[in-house]
Amino acid sequence: MPLPETEIPGRLQAELMSRGLRMTRQRRTILSVVETAKQHLDASQLLRRARRLDPQIDRVTVYRTLGLLKRHGLIDELDLMHMQGEKHFYERRPQRDHIHMACLRCGKITEFESDLFDRLKGQIQRDCRFHIVVTRLEVGGYCAQCRTTDQPKD
Amino acid sequence: MPLPETEIPGRLQAELMSRGLRMTRQRRTILSVVETAKQHLDASQLLRRARRLDPQIDRVTVYRTLGLLKRHGLIDELDLMHMQGEKHFYERRPQRDHIHMACLRCGKITEFESDLFDRLKGQIQRDCRFHIVVTRLEVGGYCAQCRTTDQPKD
DNA sequence: TATAATGTTGCATACCAGTTGCAATAAGGA
DNA sequence: TCCTTATTGCAACTGGTATGCAACATTATA
Ligand SMILES: [Mn+2]
Ligand SMILES: [Mn+2]
Ligand SMILES: [Zn+2]
Ligand SMILES: [Zn+2]
């Protein structure tokens, strides 16, 4: 599906434009990939998907756009316990922070929102007099399925 | 608690030996550096300190020893928000998990233990039926000093 | 709608942290 | 002490990301 310029801009695009940044074809493409992603994507996955919409897009443009989005606090960078190399994963910054759980056996990533987590962040801000900009809580362990089986992974 | 909680140098070494691993001069050196470190060290800092005790130690041995300690759950790996490149930092796994706060302006790393954090982990294990092996909560933001000043970063 | 100013892109290349293959060496048990 | 097997150091390599720069696209202005 080609990306018509008349399309209603996504939230990321609107945010960047409202901050006076130039909106190029490449940026529109990458932003749309980030916005429509159903899972956490790394830079190379992002590039592959962006290339399906605009085959001549370059990976440096992906990295530079990710850097831009990070600097503007519009996406979060995840390690997901670095289970498959040293790559990083990205997701649009959500309305409410969530926890990422990574199963060390099957690799499944689970998200979890928690009131206790929100309270913990409040405690950090108060007790440590620390102004929080970004948080990352990642948990490694074994999911319900993998806990109960002894089979080799996956 | 059957074992005393005091900072006995050689605890990592004792742990590895009790698990039937060979104790080489290089491992003893690296373990002693990890155990006596007052701050979070990355692999190259670790190598430099190890070389002061044993000048012909190689960096691959540092990486392999870190891998060993990670696999045995004796150290934790930290990103510290990747403020200076993509390197990772290490610390001996503490008796009680703690949070790492990284000031995005001055770079200071602060540690914080919290009952709410312990309860959150309990909630994750229960509500998600997830068996936790390792956790990493990192927070980026501005420390008390940097919050109140407007000077350019350090 | 053309022009100018400035920001962005793609390409090539470099960089950095970490990994791997392999022959030489050392540890720990018999 | 010898023997087996794990570990080491070296060199080369990898994967992920960053940079210099000339060509180009965007946006403001005329
Ligand atoms: Mn990382
Ligand atoms: Mn997520
Ligand atoms: Zn699993
Ligand atoms: Zn600070």
- The domain that contains B63 carries what CATH number? 1.10.10.10
Q: Are residues B117 and B78 in the same domain?
A: no
Residues of B in contact with A124 (CB under 8 A): 99, 101, 112, 114, 139
Q: Are residues A4 and A63 in the same domain?
A: yes
Q: Are residues B104 and B62 in the same domain?
A: no
- Cβ–Cβ below 8 Å for B147 and A129: yes
CA–C1' gap, B108 and D23, in angstroms = 42
Average pLDDT over every residue of B136-141: 98
- The domain that contains A115 carries what CATH number? 3.30.1490.190
Nucleotide showing the shortest C1' distance to residue B27 CA? D7
- Cβ–Cβ below 8 Å for A137 and B136: yes
Q: Which two tokens stand for residue A92?
A: 């649009």
CA dist B126 and A47 (Å) reads 38
Query: Residue B134, SS3?
Result: strand
Q: Are residues B55 and B84 in the same domain?
A: yes
Ligand nearest to the CA of B154: 4
- In eight-state DSSP terms, residue A151 is S
Cβ–Cβ < 8 Å for A17, A72? no
Q: Select from A52, A73, A94 the last residue of a domain.
A: A94
Q: Are residues A19 and A57 in the same domain?
A: yes
Residue A121 structural domain: 96-154
Q: Select from A52, A79, A94 the last residue of a domain.
A: A94
**According to the model, what pLDDT value does residue B148 have?**
75
Cβ–Cβ < 8 Å for B95, B5? yes
Q: Are residues A90 and A78 in the same domain?
A: yes
C-alpha separations of A41 from A30, A154, B86 in Å: 12, 20, 18
Average pLDDT over every residue of A108-122: 98
Q: Are residues A110 and A83 in the same domain?
A: no
Q: Are residues B89 and B101 in the same domain?
A: no
Q: Are residues B12 and B71 in the same domain?
A: yes
Q: Are residues A147 and A83 in the same domain?
A: no
Tell me, yes or no, if A108 comes closer than 8 A to chain B by beta carbon. Answer: no
Q: For residue B151, is pLDDT > 60?
A: no
pLDDT in tens, A122-149: 999 999 999 999 999 999 999 999 997 6
CA–C1' gap, A60 and C14, in angstroms = 14
Nucleotide showing the shortest C1' distance to residue A59 CA? C10
Q: Are residues B111 and B45 in the same domain?
A: no
Per-residue burial over A107-127, b = 16 or more CB atoms within 10 Å of its CB, e = otherwise? eebbebebebbeebbebbeee
Number of domains in chain B: 2
Q: Are residues A139 and A85 in the same domain?
A: no
- Other Cβ atoms less than 10 A from the Cβ of B79: the count is 20
**According to the model, what pLDDT value does residue B137 have?**
98
- Cβ–Cβ below 8 Å for A130 and B117: no
CA dihedral B76, B49, B139, B132 (to 10 degrees): 0
Query: For B138, which of A119, A131, A136 is closest by C-beta distance?
Result: A136
Q: Which two tokens stand for residue A6?
A: 């008349």
pLDDT in tens, B38-89: 999 999 999 999 999 999 999 999 999 999 999 999 999 999 999 989 999 9
Q: Select from B94, B110, B135 the last residue of a domain.
A: B94
